[in-house]
Chains A and B, each alone.
Chain A
Amino acid sequence: MIQAEGLTKRYGDKTAVNDISFTVKPGMVTGFLGPNGAGKSTTMRMIVGLDRPSEGSVTVNGKAYAAHHAPLREVGALLDAKAIHTGRSAYNHLLAMGATHGIGKARVNEVIGLTGLESVAGKRVGGFSLGMGQRLGIAAALLGDPATLILDEPVNGLDPEGVMWVRQLARHLASEGRTIFLSSHLMSEMALTADHLIVLGRGRIIADAPVADILATSTRTAVKLRSPRADQLAQLLQGADVTITTTEHDALTITGLTAPVIGEAAAQAGIALHELTPVGASLEEAYMELTQDDVEYHAGTTPTITEEAAR
């Protein structure tokens, strides 16, 4: 369980995280989404006390992270795959990390096995690929068998097998009742892994809801069509909840109506259709929509979602 209250981080006059409050609950995977620079990593660093909040506070399992007697048992964190001395072997890195909590060789070997690092454990980390660095970071996060796991971009640099493994691991650990908080820029990945999403844009929370809700509410199914009498059809289909965008002289993108409804309407009016294509809703689009709004709100520029989608 992670609880943030009015969490704020300013660097000089730049506000990286702006008064955010959220709760990450145990027993599920919570995804943390946002464009680069949205403040995800800063927030995660504040959770484990690496960065000091300018205002507000954040607790893990009811206490500030640093107040726990066994911090590595409360929280396992992968904040940066490169947070490892390049001159040390993976095994010695894990041994040194574990030693602080009296965690010995047996558990070190266990997490090496868990993360599939057996063949490279004795090698210096400097020669590791990004994927191996990620696995080592995850191994370090698992050392203390933590109740809460914080993973910043855990699938970065992993091969498909590794991505699948992280997904299964996250789901499995959540099913054991642990709190899993992971950030990713891969929306499709989040759709498969996360139960709940917190979307961050420009240091503020844009959305905090179950994945299914975000998909349902913020994505509107669009239908693309082509017709030689597109203008006439557009007039015919106009309505309160309907958005019609003209992309080319004979093409329309319509949201708010389903393909069968449009097809029937065109048939009744005797208008020929050359194309009628429903465009599937995805979490990616929902996310773009959410963050686009945010960018629009802050920068005050013009592009609207419909134009964006039509491009």
Chain B
Amino acid sequence: MSATTITTRPDARLSAPGIVRSEWIKLRSVRSTVWSYAIVVAASIGIAALLASTFGFGEQIPPAELHNGIIVQAATFGLYIGQLVVAVLGVLVISGEYSTGMIRSTLTAVPTRLPALAAKAVVLFVSTFVVGLVSVFGALLLALPILAGYGIEADFGDGALLGNLVLAALYLGLVSLFALGLGTILRSSAGGIAATLGVILLLPTIISAVIGITQAQWAMDISPYMFATAGTGIFSPGGPLSQGENLLVVLAWVAVSLVGGALLLKRRDA
């Protein structure tokens, strides 16, 4: 075996687009990503079909002003499952690197560290947002003809219909970022997934239980600010907070999670 021929590449240097490209290659080249996104799309479309065909309106067709709301609900209902899958994926994107030791390769290539996390966030967010769009618009296309059979017709003249569907996809993207931050903080798949699902699923349930049992005012006050409560409020209006306020609440959760992860990533030994 001959030793080596080395060609020089003086042009090679660390760059932001390069790091983003690297994270994109990483995201698309593991099976968990493909599976997760496939489940998100399938759940979204499947549940929309199921929901649309089982809506029990009887003889009475709901008034026209409610039609768009019903359509958004049918098209986004699958995201209640999709958000959990995306949460798991968001954690795995970083915790998988810690569990396999890959993080040491990553941080050797990007020793300033934060650009690596930022690139992960960008790639994960954009991918998840696009998958969210495919999910909700796929669900919409499937639900529309079924609902039309009940006499429920979409009014595309109202920009809120498409706008809310885009916001639903945006929420899905934000879930992945929130999970990425927690995964970076906890560095473990089990811990990160437990914490993220705990915040998304368990926390609102606990608050509701506290309200139900004690009628405590503080619990009622904080209830709208729970991650998933505010999150679904981004694309389904009618809650105590406006859609814009809900978006700000979710962005605050995401910021705390990502900034916490970034600070620890920068400080800790890898």
A interface residues with partner B (beta carbon < 8 Å): 45, 48-52, 65-66, 68-73, 77, 79-80, 82-89, 92-93, 95-103, 107, 110, 114, 116, 140, 142, 144-145, 161, 164-165, 168-169, 171-173, 176
Contact = CB atoms under 8 A, between A and B. Distances in A.
A73 B6 contact: no
B9 to A, nearest CB: 6
Interface in B1-40: 1, 3-9, 11-15, 18-19, 21-23, 25-26, 29-32
Contacts of A110: 7
B32 to A, nearest CB: 7
A241 to B, nearest CB: 44
Nearest to B266: A52
Interface residues of B, number: 40
Contacts of B107: 49-50
Given A71-B110, A71-B111, A144-B9, 8 more contacts: A69-B14, A72-B109, A79-B108, A83-B104, A85-B96, A85-B97, A100-B109, A100-B110
Contact of B100 (A77, A84, A101): A84
Contact of A145 (B8, B96, B102): B8
Given A79-B104, A84-B105, A97-B105, A103 B12 contact: yes
B109 A71 contact: yes
Q: Give the interface centre of A65, A68, A71 by most chain B CB atoms within 10 Å.
A: A71
7 contacts: A82-B101, A83-B102, A85-B102, A98-B22, A101-B12, A102-B12, A169-B3
A225 B110 CA distance: 60
Contact of B30 (A87, A103, A172): A87
A172 B108 contact: no
Interface string B115-142: 0000000000000000000000000000
Contacts of B22: 96-100
A7 B7 CA distance: 34
Contacts of B26: 85, 88, 92, 96
B65 interface: no
A225 to B, nearest CB: 45
Given A84-B105, A85-B26, A145 B3 contact: no
Nearest to B2: A168
Q: Give the interface centre of A80, A87, A142, A169 by most chain B CB atoms within 10 Å.
A: A87
Contact of A165 (B1, B96, B105): B1
Nearest to B28: A92
Nearest to A96: B25
Given A52-B269, A85-B97, A85-B100, A176 B109 contact: no
A100 B107 CA distance: 11
A169 B101 CA distance: 25
B217 interface: no
Q: Give the interface centre of B3, B97, B112 by most chain A CB atoms within 10 Å.
A: B3
A142 B6 CA distance: 9
A100 B18 contact: yes
A102 B102 contact: no
Contacts of B81: none
Contacts of A45: 104, 269-270
Contact of B25 (A79, A92, A145, A169): A92
Contact of B111 (A48, A171, A172): A48
